[in-house]
C-alpha cells in the first residue's frame, strides 16, 4: 500500500520510507504514533497546523509504529508520540512524549535553519565494529 498524500501530512509506510524520508531533499519531520495513544491524538492538530505553515520548507509525515514496527525499532522509538526530524536522510533532532506545541514549532524552525549543516557534520556509526570478538 503506498503512502497516503491526503492533506499536509503524509501517512508513511515501509515501502516508501526510504524515498520519502531518507532521500528527501527537504528536511522531514515525522510523528511516530500509535492509534491508541491519547497524547498522539491531542498533538496531531498542532502538527498538522505546522505542516501547513512550513509547507515547501519541510515535509511532514506520520508513521504508525504498531504496523511498521521495524522502522520504529531502527530509529529507537520507545514511546508515542515521538517526533524525529531528518536532514539529508539523517536524524538530527528528536522530541519524545506529550510536549508543548510551541516546543515542536521551535524545533521545526531550528531544523529548517540549521539541520542540513548539522547533518553534514554527523559521523555515521559502523555497527560492524565492536569491542567483542
Kind and range of the H or E element at 9? strand 9-11
Q: Which residue has the cell 524520508?
A: 21
Residue of 9, 37, 87, 104 with catalytic role: 37
Q: What is the dihedral of CA 40, 41, 43, 44, to 10 degrees?
A: 100
Backbone angles phi, psi at 130, to 5 degrees: -135, 165
Nearest to 83 by CA among 60, 102, 66, 67: 60
Look up 40 and say whether it is catalytic.
yes
Residue of 30, 31, 40, 58 with catalytic role: 40
Nearest to 78 by CA among 90, 94, 92: 94
- Cell (9 digits) for 44: 496531531
Q: Are 80 and 37 in contact (CB under 8 A)?
A: yes
Look up 87 and say whether it is catalytic.
no
Write out the catalytic residue numbers: 37, 40
Amino acid at each position: 500500500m503506498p503512502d497516503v498524500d491526503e492533506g499536509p501530512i503524509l501517512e508513511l509506510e515501509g515501502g516508501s520510507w526510504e524515498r520519502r524520508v531518507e532521500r528527501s531533499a527537504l528536511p522531514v519531520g515525522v510523528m511516530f504514533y500509535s492509534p491508541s495513544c491519547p497524547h498522539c491524538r491531542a498533538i496531531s492538530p498542532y502538527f498538522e497546523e505546522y505542516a501547513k505553515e512550513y509547507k515547501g520548507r519541510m515535509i511532514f509525515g506520520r508513521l504508525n509504529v504498531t504496523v511498521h514496527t521495524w522502522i520504529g525499532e531502527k530509529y529507537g522509538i520507545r514511546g508515542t508520540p515521538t517526533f524525529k526530524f531528518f536532514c539529508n536522510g539523517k536524524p538530527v533532532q528528536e522530541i519524545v512524549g506529550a510536549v508543548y506545541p510551541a516546543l515542536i514549532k521551535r524545533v521545526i524552525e531550528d531544523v529548517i535553519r540549521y539541520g542540513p549543516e548539522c547533518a553534514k557534520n554527523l559521523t555515521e556509526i559502523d555497527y560492524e565494529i565492536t569491542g567483542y570478538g
